[in-house]
């Protein structure tokens, strides 16, 4: 049965030009949302392929000025934002902490954790004023368990989980909900940035014996973005093939 849960709503998807973000953008648009893609590259092209008068903006989510400008332009062109999904990210260097350059480590944290903070903050005023909204952050099972040789990525994803738990409690008395999804390894372009041994390690930890799909992520996120997800505040939704059960 065709669903149109997001008819008349505006949804911002960071990292929406590829991977999980692209699948989420497609899913929300198919259910009636006007989608605005924020991405460093390819945002306009990705938006052009979506229904519903979608918009693409070039944004560096790790830079405060870039996010502020994108939020202002989005609200000027589309009105207030109802849904924010933060899916922008990079894996960073796969190497031990010993000898790991701080600039490289910090860039991963700035994009993931800093990006979630900046994007959420930029759109919260409108959501709170209207007493309606959904914020969904894409974290990772790495933020729960920590992956070896991926300290920046694991730390950033753990930080996202903690940030959304805090934000979810702040917003609980309102009609705005903030929750986080923690996928295991998903068969998406980001996986191509990992060395084969890291991919094999992650697969060995998944009881189902396979990688997740971007469509499975999009389906769960669509529920989290809907009015049906009303009694969750600061919750962590696992999508890990049985790897994380806590």
Report yes or no on 5 lying in a domain: no
Is residue 53 packed enough to be buried (19+ CB in 10 Å), middle (13-18) or exposed (0-12)?
Answer: exposed
Please tell me the pTM assigned to this model: 0.94
Report yes or no on 137 lying in a domain: yes
pLDDT in tens, 117-131: 999 999 999 999 999
Task: Write out the residue range of the structural domain in which residue 178 sits.
Answer: 10-236
Report yes or no on 244 lying in a domain: no
217 in Cβ contact with 239 (< 8 Å):
yes
Show Cβ contacts of residue 76 under 8 Å, excluding neighbours closer than 6 positions. none
pLDDT of residue 2: 67
Q: Where are the beta strands (DSSP E) in 113-175?
A: 133-138
pLDDT in tens, 79-106: 999 999 999 999 888 899 999 999 999 9
CA pair distance 27, 58, nearest whole angstrom:
21
The chain-wide mean pLDDT, for the chain, equals 94
Active site residue 102: no
Report yes or no on 241 lying in a domain: no
**What's the rounded mean pLDDT across residues 217-245?**
94
Measured between alpha carbons, how far apart are the two ends of the chain, in Å? Answer: 33
CA pair distance 151, 109, nearest whole angstrom:
10
**CATH number of the domain where residue 51 is located:** 3.40.50.720
Exactly one of 105, 153, 163, 211 is catalytic; name it. Answer: 153
**Counted domains in the chain:** 1
Show Cβ contacts of residue 48 under 8 Å, excluding neighbours closer than 6 positions. 54, 56
């Amino acid at each position: 049965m065709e669903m149109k849960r997001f008819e008349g709503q505006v949804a911002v998807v960071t990292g929406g030009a590829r991977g999980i973000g692209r699948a989420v953008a497609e899913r929300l648009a198919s259910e009636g949302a006007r989608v605005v893609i924020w991405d460093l590259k390819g945002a306009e092209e990705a938006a052009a392929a979506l229904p519903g008068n979608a918009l693409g903006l070039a944004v560096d989510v790790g830079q405060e000025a870039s996010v502020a400008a994108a939020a202002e332009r989005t609200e000027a062109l589309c009105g207030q934002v109802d849904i924010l999904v933060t899916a922008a990210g990079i894996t960073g260097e796969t190497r031990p902490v010993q000898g790991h350059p701080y600039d490289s480590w910090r860039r991963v944290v700035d994009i993931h954790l800093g990006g979630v903070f900046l994007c959420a903050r930029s759109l919260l005023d409108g959501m709170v004023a209207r007493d309606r909204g959904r914020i969904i952050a894409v974290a990772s099972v790495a933020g729960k368990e920590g992956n070896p040789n991926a300290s920046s990525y694991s730390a950033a994803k753990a930080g996202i989980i903690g940030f959304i738990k805090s934000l979810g409690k702040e917003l609980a008395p309102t009609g705005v909900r903030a929750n986080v999804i923690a996928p295991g390894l998903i068969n998406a372009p980001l996986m191509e940035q990992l060395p084969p041994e890291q991919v094999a390690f992650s697969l060995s930890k998944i009881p189902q014996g396979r990688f997740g799909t971007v469509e499975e992520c999009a389906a769960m996120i669509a529920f989290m973005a809907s009015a049906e997800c009303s009694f969750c505040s600061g919750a962590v939704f696992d999508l890990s093939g049985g790897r994380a059960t806590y």
